[in-house]
A and B are shown apart, each in its own frame.
Chain A
Amino acid sequence: DVKVTQSSRYLVKRTGEKVFLECVQDMDHENMFWYRQDPGLGLRLIYFSYDVKMKEKGDIPEGYSVSREKKERFSLILESASTNQTSMYLCASSPAGGRDYGYTFGSGTRLTVV
């Protein structure tokens, strides 16, 4: 069964901490994405990557960075966590030219910043 795996389902971090959210896919997909999901705001794209070491800003990149050192792994980094970054974070992947494919999503990480 093809998978996108997010390392944690639930995380609680303190304000000011550096936080790493990890995502691994086993489908050899070129594209990977990070979204956050908040009630009433839907899904908002933070960053995406279309190749190793390549990254593009999404709609709300402020306060976040990403790393893609290997094709299968895409990490989201909160440089200094703040309470307004409390959210559900969703990772997804798709193949190159995946316009007709859509995404495969991970199960999500619910992050609480206190």
Chain B
Amino acid sequence: EIVMTQSPGTLSVSPGERVTLSCRTSQSVRTNLVWYQHIPGQAPRLLIYGASTRATGLPARFSGSGSGTDFTLTISSLQSEDFAVYYCQQDNSWPYTFGQGTKLEIK
């Protein structure tokens, strides 16, 4: 089973800042990496798939990059609605696994 490691666990940032979240996999997943956003009490939301393809309707301030074992999700200018927990998931090897999440909180 592929182990997903996200860092940091929590990130305190101010609106308007640029943030980069990291996801590492225990073995190569090529570009089969997905990012989700979860605001507590709401359904998780698909953000990025294929490591860098934005989901329909996702604002351009969100971008994903990486391949192999190292991936990043970048939010270029944080908006108030972006404070949430972000999860990565690999869809390369069965069973498909998730990271522990990175929480973005308001500084």
* A complexed with B: no
Binding site for B on A (CB under 8 A): none
Binding site for A on B (CB under 8 A): none
